[in-house]
Structure 1
Amino acid sequence: MTGNATRPRLNRVVAAAGPKAPVRIVHLGLGAFHRSHQAWYTQHAGDSAEWGIAAFTGRRPDAAQVLSEQDGVFTLVERSDAGDTFEVIGSIVEAVDGNDVGRLAALLAAPSTAIVTLTITEAAYATDAADAEHSATPLGRLAVALAARKENGAGPLAIVSCDNLAHNGTVTREAVLSLADTLDPGFADWVRANVSFVSTSVDRITPRTTGEDIAEVAVACGYDDAAPVVAEPFRNWILSGAFPTGRPRWEDAGAVFVEDLEPYENRKLWLLNGAHSILAYAGQLRGYATVAEALADPLCRDAVEKFWDEAARHLPDELGVPEYRAALVERFSNSRIAHHLAQIAMDGTTKLRMRALPVLAAERAEGRPGDGAAGMIAAWMAQVTSPADVKDPLAAGIAEANTLDGDRRTRALLELLDPGLAADPGVLAQVHRLQDRFTASSTSASR
């Protein structure tokens, strides 16, 4: 297949990518972030020739279809204000429709499969019994495939969550065990004995690919790539947990393995992801579309700094928080990475529980009001007024709250995040008051 008379379609021959590595990693949630992060790290491991990835899509088969036509290879564009660099990534050796539970079960039943990685979004970790029985969700399909591994006697493996959840390994373990117990209590015992759950902190800003990005790759690289990925140069991966049947040498590419992940994941969830949430809600109210635009606005920047000051008080000094904050400002200011606020704003009820609520609780426990954390919640409330703009697992509850007025609406929205907060008159008044800062300013913001 060719893009025009002279330009070939990217594939392994065009890329001179060499033979495919054997599948030893299965990934659920094939998307841009997985390809810019775990796939990149796997390609840059010293033993990458031994570790191929079979990646399954999440909601739709589109990404699998496009990548399959390219033998799994794609171009990673690293974009900074200094310019772009291009690299072909070939660590994905099979791209599969996420609904193909049979193929997923076959791969997990193979003793050679050692690792399952996940980028399924934070909201996907909520489960119920029907998920396993009908393979309705990524974790439901994973439970069915793990049962096939048990039946085949294929031995232990590691499951590695790469989603922005505090204690994501523990959350994954509890969800999978709940589903396994629904299928068969004996199966849940097998999971406890044979499956390790690795916690991680992941970081790399990866905006959605645009038509302009596809055109740029064609001109710069001389081939047509229907599935390039654009990312910032920065990347970070911190992992904690056991890999009972081995893993790639990801440390060759800069991954860090630690005993205690919690301080690192809190630094990332609060400082990076928390700032993103503030910018997503306050920035859209101010008429901005990207992180770089919103950060340049004094009101948005001040809201971020207030929250960072609060979060920093609850992080260990050895994490180098001042340097981390300075690096975030530089990264967020990268005007050539169009990190869209609407994308970040999705699933707000899930994200705010991890980003705002822990800092608010910690501040209040020490006798401070926590206006920075409460301001993040207030910005969300001020922004989620249009049903068309709300993409959230609790969208119906948000819509119902939006039929109410004044502090009744504030209370209803707070109840979606934490009923205890909604019952606290002080927090209710605080969040209700702080909304005015964003709604009043949104009408006067200039572009």
Structure 2
Amino acid sequence: MSRILNRAQDGRPAAPIRIVHLGIGNFTRAHQAWYTEHASDADQWGIAGFPGRTTLRPRVSPRDDALDAQEGLYQLDIQAPEGDRVEVISSISASFRSHDIESWMTLFADPQVVIVTSTITEAGYCRNPQGDLDLGNPELIADLDKLKSGQLDEPVFTGPAKFVRGLLARRAAGAGAITFVPCDNVPENGTMAETVIRQAADYVDASLLEWIDENVGFVTTMVDRITPHTSEEDAARVAELTGIVDPGLVVCEPFAEWVLAGEFKAGHPDWESVGAKFVDDVVPHEMRKLYLLNGSHSLMAYCAPVLGLETVYQAINDPRVLGWVNAFWDDAVQQVPLPDAEKQAYRAALLERFTNPRMKDQLARIAADGTQKLPIRIVPHLKAFAAAGKVATGATRPVAGWVLHLRGVGAPVNDAAASALVNEVRSGDLDSAVHAVLRFLQIDDEQIAATVLSQAQEMEAMRA
């Protein structure tokens, strides 16, 4: 007979809230919340979770309801090749709604809260193509204008505005130091967060900048754990194993990695006890993961569905896709400043992870927000080779796949920033589409254009 989770029977008592997280989705619950759960001092570090949605009509998901009903508990199914390893995660002490600005302010005003983590995707930080705060974003400006005019009790929905609203409350309360720890797949994400938060603060109240200098830390991170969408099959299997029907169930792979660099102003959990690494410079590790894992994910997400493939496992077991991935890695490793042996070991580990038959990571999910992902995962390789008068033929492949994707081939387009580009690439022939995409990526090279066109034509001919 099924039942729901409860702390008295299944978890440990809720720890005091010392971390606020924006974007409490599946990845966070498989990664940061898992690290916090297993830290040696887990009983001292509770997480308050807020969804990262930016909408004027906030909806409640089954996951939100499950976290509420189950006192923040959920099951994590670590899908090892040999079978399921299911555990209950207790590190989320409370969950809130995305528009609950009152609770957000209350938590930021609490001196006990000393860390803000976030997973709101690249788009959630509201940056323009130059990496600055996008002051042309009407939703962001509407939020910032509320704060600037003193409407401090009104909900705000964009990430930078929420962060500034929290800092205003913290300064007013004299609550002391706090540290931002962004965990999105963006190079130098600590610097990214600092830039948009400082620029948003300057727009709202320039006097906040000096307070930020003295009281706010920013940490750069590299995060890694493949976390597919939880399927009905996963839910049924775990319910059979545990007797618990859990709408909050998360599935993930066994592998996990977390590398952090920067100053924590007021402490952090003992994440090192779970294997997290604190380093002076996260960039080489960040580049290794961003270019090799995330870059190959993007390649598969845009190219493999052309062949009728739907998951990473299916893709990497297709000889054509495997060849494309290896060719891409041959290009990408040249931009990663780590020893060759370490890079080759990482490639081998990725193949082992991708070929885990238990993982059913959907390529359609990975394909979302290509306008944000390709400039940082793929373009650096193209430009590095072009500077030497060469074409990175492995790295042109995902661009060719993205052209087809934007033209309606393969996975559906799920990218809020792509509407104008979609219209452009669908308004003419394939050659004009290739040039439109390269203009968007700020690449002006006819050799690259010719290669992308040829590869797109080749894949179209293979179309399932």
Band the TM-score falls in, shorter-chain normalisation: over 0.9
Rounded Cα–Cα distance in structure 1 between residues aligned with 2:338 and 2:280: 18
Rounded Cα–Cα distance in structure 1 between residues aligned with 2:402 and 2:368: 11
Rounded Cα–Cα distance in structure 2 between residues aligned with 1:233 and 1:433: 38
Q: Within the alignment, does 1:130 sit opposite 2:142 as a pair? A: yes
Rounded Cα–Cα distance in structure 1 between residues aligned with 2:158 and 2:358: 35
Deviation at 1:113, TM superposition (A): 0.5
- Cα-to-partner distance string for 1:243-264 (whole Å, 9 max, x where unaligned): 1111000000000011011110
Alignment partner of 2:427 out of 397, 403, 407: 403
Q: Which amino acid aligns with 2:363?
A: L
Return structure 1 stretches of 4+ with deviation > 4 angstroms: none
Rounded Cα–Cα distance in structure 2 between residues aligned with 1:131 and 1:355: 30
Deviation at 1:20, TM superposition (A): 0.8
1:261-272 matches, cutoff 5 A: 261-272=282-293
Instruction: Compare 211-220 and 293-302 and name the one that shifted more.
Output: 211-220
Identity of aligned residues (%): 41
Q: Within the alignment, does 1:245 sit opposite 2:276 as a pair? A: no
Alignment partner of 1:25 out of 19, 22, 40: 19
1:48 match: 42
Q: Which amino acid aligns with 2:21?
A: H
Aligned CA RMSD, in angstroms, stands at 1.5
Rounded Cα–Cα distance in structure 1 between residues aligned with 2:240 and 2:205: 55
Alignment partner of 2:199 out of 152, 161, 178: 178
2:150 match: none
Q: Within the alignment, does 1:113 sit opposite 2:113 as a pair? A: yes
2:325 match: 304
Deviation at 1:130, TM superposition (A): 3.2
Q: Secondary structure in 2 aligned to 1:53?
A: strand
Q: Secondary structure in 2 aligned to 1:185?
A: coil
2:414 match: 391
TM-score (norm 1): 0.94
1:82 match: 82
Judged with a 3 Å threshold, the aligned counterparts in structure 2 of structure 1 residues 139 and 64 are, in CA distance, closer, same or farther, namely farther
1:60-209 matches, cutoff 5 A: 60-62=59-61, 63-126=63-126, 127-128=134-135, 129-134=141-146, 135-209=156-230
Rounded Cα–Cα distance in structure 1 between residues aligned with 2:313 and 2:394: 20
1:3 match: none
Unaligned runs of 5+ in 1: 1-5
1:257 match: 278
Q: Secondary structure in 2 aligned to 1:334?
A: coil
Instruction: Compare 361-370 and 112-121 and name the one that shifted more.
Output: 361-370
1:12 match: 7
1:284 match: 305
Alignment partner of 1:323 out of 345, 351, 374: 345
Rounded Cα–Cα distance in structure 1 between residues aligned with 2:218 and 2:366: 27
Unaligned runs of 5+ in 2: 54-58, 127-133, 136-140, 147-155
Deviation at 1:105, TM superposition (A): 1.1
Rounded Cα–Cα distance in structure 1 between residues aligned with 2:220 and 2:201: 20
Q: Which amino acid aligns with 2:302?
A: Y
Tell me, yes or no, if the aligned pair for 2:47 and 2:93 is still in contact at 8 Å: yes
Tell me, yes or no, if the aligned pair for 1:8 and 1:14 is still in contact at 8 Å: no
Rounded Cα–Cα distance in structure 2 between residues aligned with 1:431 and 1:130: 40
Instruction: Compare 116-125 and 423-432 and name the one that shifted more.
Output: 423-432
Tell me, yes or no, if the aligned pair for 1:397 and 1:416 is still in contact at 8 Å: no
Q: Which amino acid aligns with 2:399?
A: I
Q: Secondary structure in 2 aligned to 1:130?
A: helix
Q: Which amino acid aligns with 2:375?
A: R
Deviation at 1:438, TM superposition (A): 1.6
Rounded Cα–Cα distance in structure 1 between residues aligned with 2:194 and 2:248: 32
Deviation at 1:407, TM superposition (A): 2.3
Tell me, yes or no, if the aligned pair for 2:239 and 2:245 is still in contact at 8 Å: yes
1:195-234 matches, cutoff 5 A: 195-234=216-255
Judged with a 3 Å threshold, the aligned counterparts in structure 2 of structure 1 residues 318 and 440 are, in CA distance, closer, same or farther, namely same
